[in-house]
Amino acid sequence: MTIQWFPGHMAKARNQVQEKLKLVDIVLEIVDARIPESSRNPMMDEIIADKPRLLVLNKADLADKKQTAAWLDYYQKHDLPAIAIDAQHKSRLPQIEKTVRQILATKITRQQAKGLKIVKLRAMCIGIPNVGKSTVLNRLVQKNIAKTGNKPGVTKNQQWLKVSDSFEVLDTPGILWPKFEDPDTGMKLALLGSIKDSIFHADDVALFGLDLLRQRYQAQLQQTYHLQAADFERDNAGLLLTLTKKNGFKDDYDQFSEKMINDLRKGRFGGVTLDVIPTPTSETEVPTDD
């Protein structure tokens, strides 16, 4: 199954982002720490171009901590400033403004040299649906301004939010892109809630998720669903049926599929990261000093 979802309001929002970009000093790109690459919108690279950028790996509480550290290291090696946060807990949020100030230090020093006491910084917050953009912004401004909800596409309008006297953020709607080059990207986005549930079949997406969990987090899968080692001798479809029965859904594997997707979204398998760090090939290898 191939999933694609690019409704009209997203195409319109993309143009608005392009228009407003000249008003900001930096872009805050919010991604899901469990799929840091799959939740990045490649279309935005062209639009943002050389504008300074801070990648914010949100929902770090739901991700595999070791993998998050490895991803941060990966981005650092690729000269992309990145931090990991959990927007539901306030403690790491001041890190955003602090890092923005570090990235824009040259601009700040230049403006201060001109006699400006308070250097106002403006950021644009972008991200695909459901990465937690509204939650991050609500926490940053300490009010319930940005709309949150579990339905992709809920953040509708662009609005300026005042974080402090010297830092404002422009909220933008969650935007996907017209075609997922890698079909796995669409599946991962569906699995973690960035694509409207009515666009895909739950059993296809659950099977895809089951396969990923088996490959990467079999012990956590086994523990969460009280599976026996012998259950893993079955193929994915067989295992899905076993799980359907074990969980009291008789033969209704659609219903179990929805439960499994929800369990994954809510972090019931513990911290999991579904994107794998690309291994450098000779062409893409990052140069080192030695």
**Residues making contact with ligand G4P (CB under 6 A):** 58-59, 61-62, 86-88, 127, 129-135, 148-150, 154-155, 174
Minimum CB separation of residue 201 from ligand G4P in Å reads 21
- Sort residue 127 into left (φ over 0), alpha (ψ -120 to 50) or beta: left
For ligand G4P, the closer CB: 3 or 126? 126
Query: What letter does residue 91 receive in the DSSP assignment?
Result: G
Which sign does the torsion angle of CA 144, 81, 194, 43 carry? positive
Q: How far is the CB of 148 from ligand G4P (least distance, A)?
A: 3
* Cβ closest to ligand G4P, residue 173 vs residue 186: 173
Which pairs from 10-16 meet CB under 8 Å and 24+ separation? 10/153, 10/173, 10/174, 10/175, 10/176, 13/158, 13/172, 13/173, 13/175, 14/43, 14/47, 14/175, 16/158, 16/172
Q: What CA–CA distance (Å, rounded) separates 71 from 63?
A: 11
Nearer to ligand G4P, 61 or 168 (CB): 61
Minimal distance, residue 129 CB to ligand G4P, in Å: 5
Closest CB to ligand G4P among residues 25, 29: 29
In the complex, the smallest distance separating the C-beta of residue 157 from ligand G4P, rounded to whole angstroms, is 12
- Structure-token match 């596409």, residue found: 153
3-state secondary structure of 170: strand
* Min dist. Cβ of residue 24 to ligand G4P (A): 18
Instruction: Please identify, using beta-carbon distances, which residue of 29 and 86 lies nearer to ligand G4P.
Output: 86
